[in-house]
Amino acid sequence: MLIAFSVAPAVAADDTGSVSDAVARAISVVRESGLPHRTDAMFTTIEGEWDECMAVVKRCCDVIAEASPRVGLVLKADIRPGFTGELDGKLARLEAAIERRTGVPAPQDA
């Protein structure tokens, strides 16, 4: 399965409103999990089995809760048993479809 999630304190630690330090702790949990993952400006996507993915999401929420009395979590899952490598596979199929449609290959950094 793929789980795309965003977790952050609902209450900032200081007057700047920044939550990056707390989010960095959560991303460390993801990286230490050993699961395939990708982080962008809005979400982190992890790939694995249901229980292992949900355990990582829970631990990320727990780490954020250490910094804030309230935690915000947004989660979207693609549950497709029997498939692996979808973190990259879905993007490859999308880029191939765009190239078939437009004749324009994907940018090299995509």
pLDDT in tens, 35-85: 999 999 999 999 999 999 999 999 999 999 998 889 999 999 999 999 999
pTM attached to this predicted model: 0.85
Closest CA to 47 of 91, 3, 93: 3
Distance CA 69, CA 67 (A): 7
CATH 3.30.70.930 fits 2-81, yes or no: yes
The per-residue pLDDT for range 18-42, each reduced to its tens digit, is: 788 889 999 999 999 999 999 999 9
Distance CA 16, CA 10 (A): 14
